[in-house]
Amino acid sequence: MSRAIAPALLNICVMLSPATRMVIERQLALPTGSTVQQALHASGLLTDFPELDLNNPGLWLVGVWGRKTSLGHVLRDLDRVELYRPLTVDPKVARRERFQKQGTQRAGLFAKRRAGAKAGY
């Protein structure tokens, strides 16, 4: 049986969305054993966007392929490192406001009723 040999350089993608409908992607080639923090520094995003404060864990979160991870996580080939910006609105509050704005006739569990059916069925 042959064993897969780890590549000398890892192909890493670093993604950031600093604002709505704005995505920045950086392709990197890093040595094997590199961490998330090393990838972020190598991408140059920390210098391009000074508001990225990785020392404050409550603001910006990092993840690999949509799963939250730590800065010390060791990367594998073809990983995608993602920076998640802080929420500006609580999702529960936004949903509640959207529901109140559009009314109960067009939203919710019983929005599609048969003609002549009782409410809730």
CATH number of the CATH domain containing 65: 3.10.20.30
The number of domains in the chain is: 1
Domain that holds residue 65: 9-84
Residue 9: enclosing H or E segment and its boundaries?
strand 9-19
- Whether 22 maps to a domain, the answer reads yes
What was the pLDDT predicted at 106?
A: 59
Task: Give per-residue pLDDT as tens, 3-55.
Answer: 666 668 999 999 998 888 899 999 999 999 999 999 999 999 988 988 887 77
Residue 78 has pLDDT above 60, yes or no: yes
What was the pLDDT predicted at 49?
A: 86
Query: How many Cα atoms sit within 13 Å of 33 on the Cβ side?
Result: 1
- Whether 70 maps to a domain, the answer reads yes
